[in-house]
Structure 1
Amino acid sequence: MIAVLALRFVPARWMTAVVVVGAVVVGLAALAGPPSTSTDSARYAWDGIVQHAGVSPYAHTPQSTALSGLRPDWLFPDKVDGTCDDLKPRFRGLGDGADGHCTAINRPDVTTIYPPMAQLWFAAVRAFVPATAQYLPFQVAGLLLSLVVTVALVVVLRKTGRPTWWAALWAWSPLVASEAVTNSHVDALGAALATAGAVLVAFGRPIWGGIALGAATATKLIPAIVYPPLLGRWRSWWAIPVGIAVFGLLYVPYVLTTGLDVLGYLPGYLSEEGYEDGSRFALVSMVFRGDAATVVVGLAVLLAAFVAWRLSDPSRPWSGEVLMIGVTFLAVTPRYPWYALLLIPFVVLSGRWEWLSIGLAIALRGVWPSTDAYRWWLLAAVAVIVVVTLLRTSRSDWRRWWERLSFRRVEHVR
């Protein structure tokens, strides 16, 4: 953050070059080692390998003998003395892949969880490399994707008249370097598409924006929350049917080959993670339990959607996006740091830096997996957001916001 603030003293004519070169340096450093926070990209690689063999990734589990001929040694090394224990220093997250093999793939006994746009990404990244290529292809793809987002943010900041040094919050972010590059999470693709969709809708291109938003939702589902702040103009509503159509069309090839199995492990994952019984919601579960917690979370997200819709300037909806995404994260309380990738581009565009405290809280949860500690970090994030908002918001702004929420006036607030 200090390095980003120092950019304010860099001459404007050098700013873009400094931000982009810094992004390249940070990204190249992130290529130095294998994944460190998860081996999700091992599943990405497997899904890509399977698709290039003409098999639906939703049809078989990784440990299925039907796919044994596709297994590369780096994903399925042989057991040593009948166990995987001796291999774990070299193969992080290694588990039992059955049939005398170990595997680096998480949950090898269930089918993939990832939606179709993610699957197309996996297939595209693996299209030009042999099955023996390990984690590097997805890391390079993540680096290129993060650089594209950096340049796009600079362009939008210029177009909207804001200082381009804000783009460094994404370009130089340790979280982006770790989760988009080193660990290659597909959430980076979802964040890129969601940001592109929001920008296109805001700039009067709802059809193209809807296409991007539909693809974003078909990457990781959670980007669907980007919609509400964009709907302040009637023509922007075209993004909804277009997005739904794109989402459905992306599923068609997989449904034709696999049927309803395209849901993959999603239902099981939601149950395993505690979303079905409400136990996952770190803040809400302090007061409500079970189904009541789920209802409260749903109401909180709906309220955030309403407020973001009413208060957002449809031509500059960035603050509304930050509110929508931030409140959703506070309600749902994801425990994986890569979810915060969706928030950062909108913080850049809005200048609402205080909301990065939520991303920091989620990242700390990954380092120190304690529910009690996570609650304190989230509450601290809420305190930061409330204090900064009170300090930076004038009385006239509060009055205009109230009038917007009560439907008294029609002008938008930036």
Structure 2
Amino acid sequence: MPIAIKMPALSPTMEEGTLAKWLVKVGDKVSSGDIMAEIETDKATMEFEAVDEGIIAEISVPEGTEGVKVGTVIATLAEEGEDLSKAKAPAAEVAKTAPAPVAAPAPASTPAPAKAAPATVAKSAGDRVIASPLAKRIAAERGVDLAGIKGSGPNGRIVRADVEGAKPGAVPAGASAVAAHAPAAAQDFGIPHVEEKLSGMRKTIARRLTESKQQVPHIYLTVDIRLDALLKLRAELNSALEARGVKLSVNDMLIKALAQALLQVPSCNVQFTGDTLLKFSRADISVAVSIPGGLITPIVADAGNKSISTIASEMKDLAARAREGKLAPHEYQGGTASLSNMGMYGIKQFEAIINPPQAMIMAIGAGEKRPYVIDDSLQIATVMSATGSFDHRAIDGADGAAFMKAFKELVEKPLGLVA
């Protein structure tokens, strides 16, 4: 009996992907565990393994096809001895994954001003939408406006099923979705140019960062930090680790400092979920890595309790696989805070956009020689500027200031990072 091979969900939030490359062809025999195809998600290119054993009877979706929905039949597997010419995907499976017909829009000249009763949306006395944390996370990932959804949970609470059944970009009746989501019309004015189609990653970055700036009230706090002691310690550690083939970067030490600061000031190691606050007991640091076509943030899990040499080894591996598009979903999804370092480009200071659903990100500028007052005298020191961006819904200014103070002290007295 033919077996339908469907587009897999390679991450919890994946809805569609690009079938980048087939590694098998019709007539090939495959066994469980064989690599059949390469599939591009919005973050990485991942290998798709065969689950069943058989012979490829049909390839329904050619390689290079974009926007293939999860669950779509992409190929058919025939059992050994079965006639390949007759082995087709079961009709029920094809019907299940076929795109639904789109209704034609009503003519503009004959509007039908029907007056529909407004949907009952769960709101508190403060006009706040009531939804479960999971429903809010899924809504943010899919671009769904909770204000336009009728909740089916207790007291009208919006739950996961309500969000999954809603269309992305859904807005309350009477609101204009066009103004909020329509892209700006191209205006080249005859200037020579090349039109480049946005990748799935770039589209996701654009959507998530727009949502972050629109929905998350950012507060920015900056401190100047002396790096001389940290640079001296780094040189000594690298000398001691040379025989092991380990070389520490300043960024590795800053990852450790950020994680320890979060553990020292746990009020900043949190996540805002609307009606609850998640307080984390472990510091998982997402580190911004630039890759062709965008940015990805591999995660150093439990960085506060790892040695700097372990962090350095992990980051070297994670960054290399990130640039190859070979990270597994759990290696870039999650994290309790982020670190973005643009010092290598000579950037003195910048303010990073928070990576939802996290509540803070640390932006690191370049270390440079500056006049600096030391022991009441003007001297020259290596100084960098660090700016923390905080979600003001979850983190008060005083807590953010305490965190920046802790981070500064850990960097300026770096022996605490190896204790």
TM-score (norm 1): 0.23
Q: Which has the higher strand share?
A: 2
Q: Which has the higher helix share?
A: 1
TM-score (norm 2): 0.23
